[in-house]
Structure 1
Amino acid sequence: MRKDFGAKPCIYPEPVLIIGTYNSDGTPNAMNAAWGGIHEDTEISICLSPEHKTVENILKRKAFTVGFATQETVVGSDYVGIVSGNNVPNKFEKSGFHAEKSKKVDAPIIMELPICLECKLKTTPRATASASVRSSI
């Protein structure tokens, strides 16, 4: 039996997006983003809280990657979603992920994730409770 939930901002099943950036010292960083999706043909939009280390990294480097977690990467993907890069400097290393530098943007590609979008920052997020980061893929 179908149930009408009304207009809701959701996609099901919701993909687990892993955002890859570089910290100021050049080490890779990753976080699990709950809200994001394709904005236009060649753009992606991700909603992030401004206090995340990832937002700071994106604003400095003007780039990031978006990987799609899989069942095989659930442990590392969960870890980067629970632990803050503000509190654990070697968070990426502890996740068990491995990275290589993107040839297209100044951001890491997480080798264990089968799909990677390499993104250049298009609009700078406003300082609100939820910052929308738009980028060109």
Structure 2
Amino acid sequence: MWKNAGPIVALYPTPTVVVGMIDENERVNWINVAHVGLIGLDSIMLSINKLHFSNEIIKDKYAVSVNIVTEEMLEATDFVGIVSGRKVDKSNVFEYTMGIRNVPMINLSPIVMECELTDNFETKEHNQYIFKVRHTHIKPEVLDENGNISYDILKPILFEMPTKSYYKLGDKVGNCWKIGENFYK
């Protein structure tokens, strides 16, 4: 039988991303965000604790980059989640290129989405920002022969909250909308 663990969110792990933005002084700021969600096929949600300095920038600028994290980025990624941009200049943690929407994009990241803020759902402790993806930049080396993102090659880093651990994506186990075709046969 099951054990009732109480009202915990049991949907982890989620992708780990570094969110890049430009503050009011035109300085780059980065934050590690592990509470990430999908909203349909064109939008994402980033849940950020209200104590973070990045909230002020997001609410002022309405634009961010969302950089997929790989293992070679992990130490710097964890660092930008530990220190506050209010106290530490994080602009030189990653080498970056400015995107179309004037947001910093991490050069090491194989996939970067430039996003525009469209909504914010506030709870007691977090802002749930809804972002429309406006541009997605993908390095060719993480694409398969059909031009799709290959997660076997990419191996994004995942975040698991209960044990506060990072993981690499594992092996493919089946094809969606295919594996169940013979279920009732």
TM-score range, shorter chain: 0.7 to 0.9
Distance 2:4 2:99 in 1: 41
Distance 1:92 1:16 in 2: 19
Distance 2:3 2:44 in 1: 28
**Residue of structure 2 equivalent to 1:101:** 98
Deviates more, 1:75-84 or 1:122-131: 122-131
List alignment gaps of at least 5 residues for structure 2. 134-185
1:131 matched to 2:127: yes
Q: Which has the larger radius of gyration?
A: 2
User: Which residues in structure 2 correspond to 1:75-90 (within 5 Å)?
Assistant: 75-88=75-88, 90=89
Distance 1:63 1:33 in 2: 15
Distance 2:65 2:42 in 1: 14
What is the CA distance between 1:63 and its match in structure 2? 0.6
Q: Alpha carbons of 1:4 and 1:109: their partners in 2 closer, same or farther (altered >3 Å)?
A: farther
Secondary structure, aligned partner of 1:91:
coil
**Residue of structure 1 equivalent to 2:117:** 121
Secondary structure, aligned partner of 1:76:
helix
Distance 1:114 1:26 in 2: 25
Question: Does the CA contact (< 8 Å) of 1:28 and 1:99 recur in 2?
Answer: no
Q: Which runs of 4+ in 1 moved over 2 A?
A: 3-9, 124-128
Distance 2:106 2:20 in 1: 7
- Percent identity, please: 24
Q: TM-score, normalised by structure 1?
A: 0.84
List alignment gaps of at least 5 residues for structure 1. none
* Greater fraction helix: 1
RMSD between superposed Cα atoms in Å: 2.1
Q: TM-score, normalised by structure 2?
A: 0.64
If asked which structure has higher relative contact order (CA below 8 Å, sep 6+), I would say: 1
Distance 1:113 1:5 in 2: 39
Q: Alpha carbons of 1:72 and 1:43: their partners in 2 closer, same or farther (altered >3 Å)?
A: same
Question: Does the CA contact (< 8 Å) of 1:101 and 1:109 recur in 2?
Answer: yes
1:36 matched to 2:36: yes
Aligned residues: 130
